[in-house]
Structure 1
Amino acid sequence: MPVQIKRVYEEAKKADGMRVLVDRVWPRGMSKEDAQVDEWLKEIGPSKELRQWFDHDPDKFDQFKVKYKEELKSNEEQQEELEKLKDWTIEHKKDITLVFGAKDEKNNQAVVLKEILDRQQV
């Protein structure tokens, strides 16, 4: 099933399927009701150190992707949550939308996670 990504601030739609928040920190100004999130995989988000280093700088995104993927491989909690995502998309064939709070829709962890999940489905 295709994995989509979307800002949590955008309107939730039926076509989103299962909405999974992939931020370690709850998005500012967003109530749980307004977010309409089915699951919050808090631990799958990048570490505080990596988030602060990246600081949503598009020039650092390629390096961020490498560092984040390394983190996902070496951190047990992140691995467990990534396995949940893989299970939901592959075994249960659920439509999934990874939702995130970042303003930049092209340079964030949801983009990296979508890339990983899309490759798993081939």
Structure 2
Amino acid sequence: MAQDFPISIARVYDPSETRMGACLLVDRLWPRGISKADLPIDDWPKDATPSNELRKWLHADPSRWPDFRTRYEQELEQNPEAVERCLAWCRKGPVTLLTAARDREHNHVIVLRDWLLAHR
């Protein structure tokens, strides 16, 4: 049986000591105020992030969070190539999913992490 490596979440603005294993930037847009040289990442699977339409839909009304989870999970199911790219990293060792999202409890990275944990 394959080992289940941890999948953690960190903000790109947090100290790098909070990260472990491969670092995947899982935001569609590059984080503001950080140069590419200052954010070492192993991969940037943009296609595994919510569509622009879905991202803007949630941003317009955060109370849509429960519906957002469902809609984003549907997007993940419909995009197997993108999530397989993330899963490949998760099978190799620990992974840190990096995001610029301010809200640590209601963001797409939580949904992605949960989806990856359930499908690895």
TM-score range, shorter chain: 0.7 to 0.9
Cα offset, 1:47, TM superposition: 0.7
Alpha-carbon displacement from aligned partner over 1:6-59 (angstroms, at most 9, x marks no partner): 111111128521110011111111111222211111111111110110007542
Cα offset, 1:83, TM superposition: 0.5
Cα offset, 1:89, TM superposition: 1.3
Is residue 20–residue 99 contact of structure 1 (8 Å, CA) maintained in 2? yes
Distance 1:7 1:56, change over 3 A: farther
Distance 1:14 1:54, change over 3 A: closer
How many residues get paired?
116
Structure 2 residue 10 is the aligned partner of structure 1 residue 6: yes
Cα offset, 1:120, TM superposition: 2.6
Distance 1:6 1:12, change over 3 A: same
Q: Which runs of 5+ in 2 are unaligned?
A: none
Distance 1:52 1:15, change over 3 A: closer
Identity rate, percent: 37
Indicate the RMSD between aligned Cα atoms, in angstroms: 1.7
Cα offset, 1:110, TM superposition: 0.9
| Residue 46 (structure 1) aligns with | 50
Distance in 2 (CA, whole Å) between partners of 1:15 and 1:70 is 28
Distance in 2 (CA, whole Å) between partners of 1:53 and 1:33 is 31
Runs ≥4 residues deviating over 4 A: none
SS in 1 for 2:16: coil
Is residue 26–residue 49 contact of structure 2 (8 Å, CA) maintained in 1? yes
Following superposition of structure 1 onto structure 2, how do residues 32-111 of structure 1 map, counting pairs within 5 Å? 32-55=36-59, 57-74=61-78, 76=79, 79-90=80-91, 92=92, 94-111=93-110
Cα offset, 1:86, TM superposition: 1.3
| Residue 115 (structure 1) aligns with | 114
